[in-house]
A and B are shown apart, each in its own frame.
Chain A
Amino acid sequence: MESILLSKYAVSSFTQAFLGLLITAYLLVSANKNCSAWRLIAFFAAITISMMSSFLLMAVQAPWRVWFGPLQGLVGFFGFIAITQFAYTFPGGEASTRSRRALILSLVGLLGV
């Protein structure tokens, strides 16, 4: 019995996960990390984990693979929260009152979802 099935969907997810991993590593070693840089790194890390979950969901042929579906969605939401925070802080290096309010609102929205 095959335990891993590399369909075109799985390969596509793996490509995106690998690219996300490269970008995250590049930002980690290259950037002088201020507040907005860390949020961007969190966004790309979330994308990497989300796409890796998508790859495992589609490629692994085991009963527990269904857990990667909710994990992909949850991590994706955290990525969107990180990019929203990045939008509020870039190019400055400090979190403002507006960004803190947006963080609370987006976390409440995440709990609602």
Chain B
Amino acid sequence: MAITFQSRRDLALQGMGLAFAVYSFWPMVVFAIQTRAYTNESLEVPVGMLDALQNPVGREARAHRAFALLMAVLFALSLQALAESLELVSLQQLISSLATFYILFLVSFVFVYVNNAPTFKLYGKTRRYSHRDLDDRDGEYGQFYSRDA
């Protein structure tokens, strides 16, 4: 059977869809494994993967579970793109899902990160006072920021 340009293009799209599915499945698995690792660390008792995903213990474990769930959304979208390249779902359905769930994924991912990143600073800057400033403000802050302290 001769491979036409159209069929080669379809093959390329299917290959890319499959690769996207694999590349989104990988971080999901890593986040799930990290959830179990942090739960084990908190409990000091080995627990199974499903138990850890159902009841993660500790802030890091909960954050990793949330990331794993969000990556599951991305994985589902990748599978849908693969299904579209195989003509199992329509382009209209794919675009509608992307428009809804991709935006949900982006916003949720940032929220989870901001809530759980250890060194995140939401707003403002750390103000640094010189000793001269502190001497000038001795009445206000001197008791807290003494040069001798």
Contact = CB atoms under 8 A, between A and B. Distances in A.
A99 to B, nearest CB: 9
A32 B118 CA distance: 9
B99 A15 contact: yes
B120 interface: yes
Interface in B90-118: 95, 98-99, 102-103, 106-107, 110, 113, 116-118
Chain B facing A: main interface SS:
helix
Nearest to A26: B110
Interface stretch (B26-34, B49-57, B137-145): B26-34
B62 to A, nearest CB: 12
A8 B95 CA distance: 9
A23 B95 contact: no
Interface size, A (range): 35 or more
Interface of B: 15-16, 19-20, 22-24, 26-27, 30-31, 34, 60, 63-64, 67, 71, 95, 98-99, 102-103, 106-107, 110, 113, 116-123
25 contacts: A16-B98, A19-B106, A19-B107, A20-B106, A31-B119, A37-B117, A44-B110, A47-B106, A76-B20, A80-B20, A80-B24, A81-B23, A83-B27, A83-B71, A84-B23, A86-B27, A87-B26, A87-B34, A91-B63, A91-B117, A91-B118, A102-B30, A106-B26, A109-B19, A113-B16
